[in-house]
Amino acid sequence: MIFKNLSKHFYISITLVSFIFFLDRVTKIYVLNLNDEALASELFSSKFLNIILVWNKGIAFGLFSFYQNYFYNFLTVIISLIIFVLFIIILRSNGLKKYSLLMIFGGAMGNLYDRIFFKAVPDFIDFHIGEFHWFVFNIADIFITIGVISMILIELIGNNKKKYE
């Protein structure tokens, strides 16, 4: 009975979140296995890209990295609450806004999984130009960033349309 009322948008949403979560898991498992085999933190190196395993105990880009367990657990609970609120917002959204939020949700779920099971998030993509290195990140972070940028653009475009009407 419940399944009759589910729309195709629900299935698309579940597929998108599942795809992001799956892609994130596969890449992290691959890098972790490479790290076990190589016994080194630098797994690949090129002119602009390194694959280097870094365990992030903080939030985005290593912010708020502390080694106290109580603070880490508190941060994990806060992140879980934010993800729950994000889920509620997704249920009330539609269109491009909904899909932007789904990208953020899928990436956040991937990183939350790591925080719970590994007590840290494995980051491994290191872009650099010469000696300037960007923050090390992972696939989940890419989708979170794309979702946030999309949300900003949606809000800017939406506000500009309202301003000229």
Q: Mean pLDDT for the chain?
A: 85
Pairing state between β 49-56 and 42-45: antiparallel
pLDDT at 162: 59
Amino acid, single-letter form, for residue 68? Q
Mean pLDDT of 117-142: 90
8 or 142: which leads in pLDDT: 142
Alpha-carbon span 74 to 150, nearest angstrom: 29
% of the chain with per-residue pLDDT over 70: 83
Looking at residue 135, the DSSP 8-state letter turns out to be: P
Is 0.85 topped by the overall pTM? no
| Mean pLDDT, range 45-68, rounded to an integer | 73
10 Å CB burial of residue 132 (0-12, 13-18, 19+) is exposed
Please tell me whether residue 48 adopts helix, strand or coil conformation.
coil
| pLDDT of res. 88 | 94
Catalytic residues: 123, 141
**Whether pLDDT at 41 is above 50:** yes
Domain count for the chain: 1
More confidently predicted of 74 and 4? 74
Residue 1 has pLDDT above 50, yes or no: no
pLDDT in tens, 65-103: 555 677 778 888 999 999 999 999 999 999 899 999 999
- Range from 7-11, 37-41, 107-111, 126-130 that averages highest in pLDDT: 107-111
Instruction: Write out the residue range of the structural domain in which residue 23 sits.
Output: 2-164
Model confidence at 6: pLDDT above 70: no
